[in-house]
Amino acid sequence: MMSWSHTHPSKLIEGTSFNKEAVFEAWGEAQYSLALLEGSQRRLENPTLLLSPLITKEATTSSGIEGTQSTVTDVFAFTAGAEPDATDAREVANYRKAMMYAITQMEAGRVLSKSLLNEMHAMLLDGVRRNPDSVTGALRQKTVWIGEGGTPIEDAAYIPPEHFLLDEYMDDMISFATSATEKSLIKSGVAHYQFEAVHPYDDGNGRIGRLLIPLLLFSEKKMTLPILYISGYFEKNKSEYIQALRSVDRSSDFTDWLIFFMNAVTQQLYETQSLVDQIYDLHVRLRYACTGLQQRYVLDFIDFLFRSPIFTRSDLQASVSMSYVTADKLVKDFLEQGFVKKTKIKKGRSEVYAFEPLIRILG
């Protein structure tokens, strides 16, 4: 009978080992790209317009790593209530909901904690648990292992710590992540590794671990909005990502992982910057194109489209607090101008409309 054993990552409170010269060179590039993105957001009168589209894109990509097959369109349609039975879209929408919830909590002064992560985890898996025996909103109570589907534990690529050690490990990670002892980007990279290594939940560890990265930068006020689209790089460089994580498992040295992580942050911040520029330009062009429309709620409608690019008249009415007659008139005007289009999606007997230029940007 083949033997197996749990892996026990070093506690972060004991210190982190890495080649500072090599890591700080990569850190400098990442820090510079972060500053550029922060500066670009100031061009928008309302930077929060970026939040819904970019978090939806990140949610779609991050969930896709776990095997979901939803598009950005599917997720916005589900959020509008037009696809109530789309399980994959629900998974992505749950990710988006968990992220938005964490942002709201942190804006209200809440700090990163086990309870906040547990609440996010419960939202993430609400109605979409793959294993009916898995626990949501709480740390796991059993042994788990990482490997291809159906792999026995003896052949596992990695076996995280025992469940009775999880509280201790999570307290250690959160203490490190919320301390003032290290640079924010380095803390984000180390915390992501530690979360993945500890694997505290039955399911959803990858998605919560990726959510941690922008949330930590946001909580430390390094990002005005947590819109770092990190999953794209991890997905495109999946084997290198796994190898970099495993290098820490083998040596407890974070050098290779942190260099990979900083390169990922740099690349994805530039990609996020491109998306921000395109969204900003679209917003400016649409406002300019609507200058001839003499309606009180035109600018409110434009901002609504960037939050909810798939919608019904009732959605618009409720979001902007206008009468149904006013919402109907606005939608008709925008249809005539070609700014929005009627879709084949149905929500009961209501017509569903799409702001296609934004959806195309998000891909």
pLDDT of res. 243: 96
Average pLDDT over residues 299-306: 94
Query: Would you state the pLDDT for residue 51?
Result: 87
- Residue 191: both structure tokens together: 């915390």
Residue 294 has pLDDT above 90, yes or no: no
**Could you tell me which residues come within 8 angstroms of residue 140 by beta carbon, excluding any fewer than 6 positions away?**
163, 166, 199, 200, 201, 202
Q: Which residue has the higher pLDDT, 209 or 85?
A: 209
Retrieve residue 172's tokens.
């250690």
221 burial (CB, 10 Å; 0-12 / 13-18 / 19+) is exposed
Please check whether residue 70 is in contact with residue 88, taking contact to mean a CB–CB distance below 8 angstroms.
yes
Q: Which percentage of the chain shows pLDDT scores above 90?
A: 66
pLDDT of residue 84: 58
Comparing 60-74, 147-161, 273-287, the range with the smallest average pLDDT is 60-74
Percent of the chain residues topping a pLDDT of 70: 98
What's the mean per-residue pLDDT of the chain? 91
Q: What would the mean pLDDT of 23-35 be, rounded to a whole number?
A: 96
Query: 12-277 has which fold?
Result: Fic-like fold (1.10.3290)
Domain boundaries, the chain: 12-277, 290-362
Over the stretch 256-270, which tens digit does the pLDDT of each residue have? 999 999 999 999 999
Q: What is the DSSP letter of 112?
A: P
Pick the CATH number of 290-362 from 1.10.357.10, 3.40.50.10140, 1.10.10.10, 3.40.50.300: 1.10.10.10
pLDDT tens per residue across span 73-127:
888 888 887 765 677 888 889 999 999 999 999 999 999 999 999 999 999 999 8
Q: For residues 224 and 49, what is the distance between their CA atoms, to the nearest angstrom?
A: 12
